[in-house]
Amino acid sequence: MLELFRQYSRAQFRPSQATRLRLLDMGFDEPGVTDALRLHNNDEAQALETLLSGQASQHLQESAELRQQGDDALTGLDPESPLYKALMENPSVQLAMCQPVTLLAFLSILDNPLTLNSWQNQLPGFQSLIRTIASLYYEHSAGGEGPHLLIS
């Protein structure tokens, strides 16, 4: 599902033409401008900062590495693990799982971790949900074993 989301996101991404032209007029190369705009969801200020720092390729590489870590996490939690059970029994998590926009947010974050701030600003209660999940994760992985992942 994540791969389909990524393909859809890349196919549907359209850089803002006005922003793209302004950045190109500043002398940046077209592939770098497009990548920076994609990386920052057409946010001109952030894309410009990335281009000026000369770290557009580094940001893209970091994003790809984080995406790979997200892919590794897709194997899932063992349904018998205490963490999985705690997540499934938590009312906040149960309510969030009923909202398609929450699934979209998590897929978006797995695809591009830099979108986390955007989703936190757009969805009321999303930051609280992330804190709840993180709290449960640390509570159940504090025993030293860490979460029990299914490796296939």
111 has pLDDT over 60: yes
Q: Which long-range contacts (CB under 8 A, 24 or more apart) does 48-51 make?
A: 48/23, 51/23, 51/26
Is the predicted pLDDT of residue 75 greater than 70, yes or no?
no
pLDDT band at 3 (very low <50, low <70, confident <90, very high): low
Neighbours of 23 (CB within 10 A): 23
Residue 79 phi, psi (nearest 5): -60, -15
For 8-30, write each residue's pLDDT tens digit.
666 667 888 999 999 999 998 88
Residue of 12 and 117 predicted with greater confidence: 117
Using pLDDT thresholds of 50, 70 and 90, give the confidence band for residue 149: very low
**Average pLDDT along the chain:** 78
Cβ 39 vs Cβ 47: under 8 Å: yes
Q: Is residue 141 very low, low, confident or very high in pLDDT (cuts 50, 70, 90)? A: confident
Query: What ranges in 1-152 are assigned the alpha helix state H?
Result: 2-12, 17-25, 30-39, 44-53, 56-73, 82-89, 91-97, 100-111, 116-122, 126-141
Identify the weakest region by mean pLDDT among 5-19, 79-93, 109-123, 137-151. 137-151
Examine the pLDDT at 123 and tell me if it is beyond 50.
yes
Cβ contact 36:50 at 8 Å: yes
pLDDT tens, 60-74? Answer: 666 656 555 555 555
For 122, the token pair is 């757009």
- Please state, as a whole number, how many other Cβ atoms lie within 10 Å of the Cβ of residue 110: 20
Tell me the CA distances in angstroms from 58 to 38, 67, 74, one per residue in order. 14, 14, 24
Report yes or no: 56 and 50 within 8 Å, Cβ to Cβ: yes
Structure tokens, 104: 């979209």
Higher local confidence (pLDDT), 37 or 10: 37
Q: What pLDDT sits at residue 52?
A: 87
